[in-house]
Amino acid sequence: MIEIQKNIPLAPLTTFQIGGPARYFVDVTSEDQIREAISFAHDNGLAFEVLAGGSNVLIPDIGLDKLVIHIVAGHHSFSGRELEAFGGCNLKELMHRATERGLGGWEKLYGIPGTIGGAIRGNAGAFGSEIKDFTHQIKAINRNTGKSRLFTRAECGFMYRHSFFKHDARWLVTTVHVHLDKIRSNQSMLLCAETLSERERRHLQNVQAAGSFFMNPVAPEEVQKKFEVEKNTKSREGRVPAGWLIEKVGMKGARVGGAMASEQHPNYLVNTGVATATDVLELAGRIQEAVYQEFAIELQEEASIL
- Return phi, psi of residue 196, to 5°: -60, -40
Among 58, 209, 240, 290, binds ligand FAD (CB under 6 A): 209
Residue whose CB is less far from ligand FAD, 13 or 290: 13
Residue whose CB is less far from ligand FAD, 15 or 188: 15
Using the Cα atoms of residue 233, residue 262, residue 166 and residue 175 in order, give the sign of their dihedral: positive
Residue length of the chain: 306
Give the interface size with ligand FAD as a residue count (CB under 6 A).
Answer: 31
228 is catalytic: no
Say whether residue 243 binds ligand FAD (CB under 6 A).
no
- Return phi, psi of residue 36, to 5°: -65, -40
DSSP symbols for 124-142? -EETTEEGGGTEEEEEEEE
Say whether residue 112 binds ligand FAD (CB under 6 A).
yes
List 129, 163, 212, 235, catalytic entry: 212
- Of residues 190, 194, 218, the one with CA closest to residue 298: 218
CA triplet 73, 172, 17: central angle to 5 degrees?
60
Among 11, 15, 21, 41, binds ligand FAD (CB under 6 A): 15
List 161, 188, 235, 262, catalytic entry: 161
Using the Cα atoms of residue 255, residue 257, residue 262 and residue 263 in order, give the sign of their dihedral: positive
Beta strands in 87-124 (DSSP E): 103-104
Please state the separation of Cα 146 from the chain's center in Å: 24
Q: Which residues pair with 103 in a beta bridge?
A: 182
Q: Which residues contact 157 (CB under 8 A, 6 or more apart)?
A: 163, 164, 167
Instruction: Determine how many CB atoms are found less than 10 A away from the CB of residue 72.
Output: 18
- Of residues 167, 149, 2, the one with CA closest to residue 70: 2
Say whether residue 10 binds ligand FAD (CB under 6 A).
no
Q: Which stretch binds ligand FAD (CB under 6 A): 190-198, 207-215, 227-235, 284-292?
A: 207-215
Say whether residue 125 binds ligand FAD (CB under 6 A).
yes
302 is catalytic: yes
Say whether residue 252 binds ligand FAD (CB under 6 A).
no
User: Residue type for 220, please?
Assistant: P
Among 124, 245, 260, 270, binds ligand FAD (CB under 6 A): 124
Say whether residue 211 binds ligand FAD (CB under 6 A).
yes
Say whether residue 121 binds ligand FAD (CB under 6 A).
yes
DSSP SS3 for 49: strand
Residue whose CB is less far from ligand FAD, 50 or 67: 50
197 is catalytic: no
Residue whose CB is less far from ligand FAD, 248 or 265: 265
Among 19, 63, 105, 114, binds ligand FAD (CB under 6 A): 114
Residues 56-85 close enough to bind ligand FAD by CB under 6 A:
56-57, 71
CA–CA gap between residue 266 and residue 291 (Å, rounded): 13
Residue whose CB is less far from ligand FAD, 34 or 290: 34
Say whether residue 51 binds ligand FAD (CB under 6 A).
yes
Residues 148-167 close enough to bind ligand FAD by CB under 6 A:
165
User: Residue type for 3, please?
Assistant: E
Residue whose CB is less far from ligand FAD, 138 or 291: 138
Give me the residues that bind ligand FAD (CB under 6 A), please.
Answer: 15, 50-57, 71, 87, 112-115, 117-119, 121-122, 124-126, 165, 172-173, 203, 209-211, 304
Active site residues: 161, 212, 302
